[in-house]
Structure 1
Amino acid sequence: MWVVYSLLSAISCAVMTVLAKINTERTDSRLLIAFVVTIEMLVSWTVVLFSGLPVTLAGLSKRNIMLIIADGIMAGVSGVFFFRAMQFGPVSKVIMVDKSNLVFSLIMASLLFHEPVLAKSLIGSIFVVIGIVIFST
């Protein structure tokens, strides 16, 4: 099931990228990200409320809450940088560099979660970096 969600996320991200580029042609990226995040928050809460999940922080530890805050900050920072890049750069180049997060995520997964670095992951990461260099120059 995770593959289906991953593909739906990728498709959604592609549509969001195109919409971001169109919007940054007429709206400053800093204002745009504020509106986008507000709408994203409304969509997220709508999903939670319609799922029937209890809306409570009671089961969360201090560590959970701190990680949620850190995650929210990083998502916001990422969005600001992404929309700013979209305002000034071509979609084809911005999205390639943005997808270098794959390499960074693999490194962090190895360091933080002790996930093994498989030969195919290493080779794939090298190809991603080569692709980024080729497409972004």
Structure 2
Amino acid sequence: MWWIYALLSALFAALTAIFAKIGIKGVDTDLATAIRTVVVIILAWTIVFVKGSNDTIGSLTKQNWTFLILSGCATGLSWICYFKALQLGEVSQVAPVDKLSVALAIVLAAVFLGETLTLKTTIAALLIIGGTFVLIF
């Protein structure tokens, strides 16, 4: 079931690149990121309240809060850089290079989370890294 959500994530990420490229034309990318963020906040909190997940907010630990806040900071910085890259470059170049995050996540998961690097995962990460360098150079 996880792969269905992962594929949907990829689809929405692709649509994000296309919609953003059209939407940021002649717009300050930081302003565009702020607008996008407000939309994400409204959407996310709507889902939380519709599902009733807001009842569990009191059970979050200090570690939960710390790492969710750090994740939010990383997301915000990623979006700011992504929109600027989209404004300066082609979607067909920016979006795939942005997906270098997949290979970086594999490496960081092994280093910080102790996840096992299988031969298949290592080869996939190396192919992504190689493809990224092909696009950049």
Same structural fold, with TM-score higher than 0.5 when normalized by the shorter chain: yes
Deviation (angstroms), 1:54: 3.3
Corresponding residue pairs, total: 137
Q: Give, in whole Å, the separation in 2 of the partners of 1:71 and 1:130.
A: 27
SS at match of 1:32: helix
Cα drift, residue 38 of structure 1 = 0.4
TM-score, normalised to structure 2, is 0.94
What are the Cα deviations for residues 14-60 of structure 1, in whole angstroms up to 9, with x where unaligned?
Answer: 11100111112121111000000000000000111111223453211
User: 1:130 matched to which residue of 2?
Assistant: 130
Distance 2:46 2:136 in 1: 38
Rounded Cα–Cα distance in structure 2 between residues aligned with 1:54 and 1:29: 32
Pairwise CA RMSD of aligned residues?
1.2
Give the alignment of 1:50-65 within 5 angstroms: 50-65=50-65
Using the TM superposition, give the Cα deviation of residue 135 of structure 1 relative to its aligned residue in structure 2, in angstroms. 2.4
1:77 matches 2:84: no
Q: In the alignment, which residue of structure 2 is the partner of 1:28?
A: 28
Query: SS state of the match for residue 39, structure 1?
Result: helix
> In 2, are the aligned partners of 1:25 and 1:87 still within 8 Å (CA)?
yes
Answer whether contact 1:96 1:136 (CA < 8 A) is retained: no
Greater helix percent: which structure? Answer: 2
User: CA–CA distance in 2 between the matches of 1:68 and 1:82?
Assistant: 20
Structure 2: where are the runs of 5+ without partners?
none
Q: Give unmatched runs, 5+ long, in structure 1.
A: none
